[in-house]
Amino acid sequence: MKTSIVDSILGPRVSQKEQSRHSLRYGMPGFLLLVARVLLLVSLFLPYWHMDLHAPQYPDNLTLTAHINQLGGDVAEIDGLNHYIGMRSLKEAAQFERSVGVYAMILLVVLLEFASYVHSRWAVLLVLPAVLIPAVFLLDLHLWMSHFGMNLDPGAPLSNSIKPFVPPVLGTGVIGQFKTVAWPGVGLILASVASVVLLAALFTHRRAYLPLVRAARKKASG
């Protein structure tokens, strides 16, 4: 019974002879999964998000950079400005996400490695989390920005001059006399490319193995 369950999850096996005859069909899913794994691993070392803060007292602007596991740039200076309008320190945002970000990404890469050995529809469950990385990153960033911007300290020195706001995670926003310009980093772009590659991998995976799954079911029922 256990063997049957394992076989149903792993899906049909392909002989060496069959793989040689149709190398492109059976090799493409694994190749695309490999490309996606490389893209995600490279993205770990690159920034996922940038923001410039245009403020009158800073003619060269202030810059904030977010990696998967850390914040960089003019964090202290931006926190100083945010203090006057009652916004909490940026260092308090996404502490859990930053602490597990690298490990989570490595886990997703390992799942993609496992997916290359699964020739059934269960491969989708292994691939889908990695497909959603860019969307989850931007959504999490938006929720933190919204939480900080909509919960200003009423006791702050300039609390009366700024209404609660939600800085855009992409594009331009205006808050009082300040302007923010946010755009994706190279890491997020690579992760987005990896998502597209993974969707292509799922398509080629289905085209290669679904006929074999159907043939196996027909044989078992007959």
- Arithmetic mean of pLDDT, 16-31: 85
Q: Give the span between the Cα atoms of 170 and 78, in whole angstroms.
A: 18
pLDDT for residue 4: 66
pTM metric for this prediction? 0.91
Instruction: For residue range 178-213, list pLDDT tens digits in order.
Output: 899 999 999 999 999 999 999 999 999 999 888 877
What percent of the chain is modeled with pLDDT above 90?
65
Q: CA of 202: how far to CAs of 39, 95, 136, in Å?
A: 17, 33, 20
73: left (phi over 0), alpha (psi -120 to 50) or beta: left
What are the two backbone dihedrals, phi and then psi, of residue 181, each rounded to the nearest 5 degrees? -130, 115
Q: Would the pLDDT of 1 be above 50?
A: no
- Partners of 160 in the β-ladder: none
- Phi (first) and psi of residue 61, to 5 degrees: 70, 165
Residue 214 has pLDDT above 90, yes or no: no
